[in-house]
Amino acid sequence: MDKTVVEKINAANNAAARSKGNRMPTQPIKLYYLPPSPPCRSVMMTARALGIDLELVLTNIMEGQHKTPEYIKMNPQHTIPTMDDNGFILWESRAIMSYFVNAYGRDDSLYPRNPRQRALVDQRLNFDLGTLYKRYMDLYVPMLFKGEAYNDEAAEKLNEALDWLNIMLGGRAFVAGDNLTIADISIVVTLSNLEAFGFDYSAHENVVKWFERTKKTLEPYGYAEIDQGGAHILASFLKKE
């Protein structure tokens, strides 16, 4: 068998063994990231909440640092965040967040093992990825990177997604129940961006209350430094246009 394949299998087995014992990594997990990146911010806050040490590797996508041969060999999609846990490579923020909890969580509160509770967290994560975050991107990416004008139709679509989130939050303290989960940590970065950009979401009462509650819950895990700070960096890009 090819030596590289064997090394990859061993790395995966080592990661699985550590997962079963819920031990902390034997060395800091490398995270290739950029501070204003929303997915990077959610991964970093999850790591803080779990007490996982990260070795942050600044990867400036504006300068093409994610398209070097070495990076593409590691991650052919050349995206951030990408993590390297002692040879186990993973990208996509929501996958990384769930891996962190499964491998190193002291309990399952952030990502419940109960099938129905986990299914609800997964549904919220997929709602964020395919609807809420996508509609945020549809509105703001053209403004941030193409200098286009504010699109009222895209804003209305985003408000529709926020209204759905508002309904989901009815009778719940957090998006998937009474406790903070990785779904909240994923979704909160979108709201942090909207707050920094000055988007008016005040009509969604449940969302407003949840946002304030989640910010306070995440304060010990670097919310102001990681998430709010990153959102303000993005907002400064928008103001330059």
Q: Catalytic amino acids? A: 37
H-helix or E-strand spanning residue 214? helix 205-218
- C-alpha to C-alpha distance for 164 and 148, rounded to whole angstroms: 27
C-beta neighbour count of 144 within 10 angstroms = 17
Q: Smallest Cα–Cα separation from 87: which of 33, 140, 14?
A: 14
CA dihedral 219, 223, 226, 231 (to 10 degrees): -150
87 Rama sector, left if φ>0, alpha if ψ -120 to 50, beta otherwise: left
- C-alpha to C-alpha distance for 217 and 35, rounded to whole angstroms: 21
- C-alpha to C-alpha distance for 106 and 51, rounded to whole angstroms: 10
* Tokens read off for 55: 């070795």
Looking at the DSSP bridge assignments, the partners of residue 54 are 29
Query: CB–CB of 188/211 below 8 Å?
Result: yes
Give strand ranges (E) for 46-176: 54-58, 82-85, 88-91
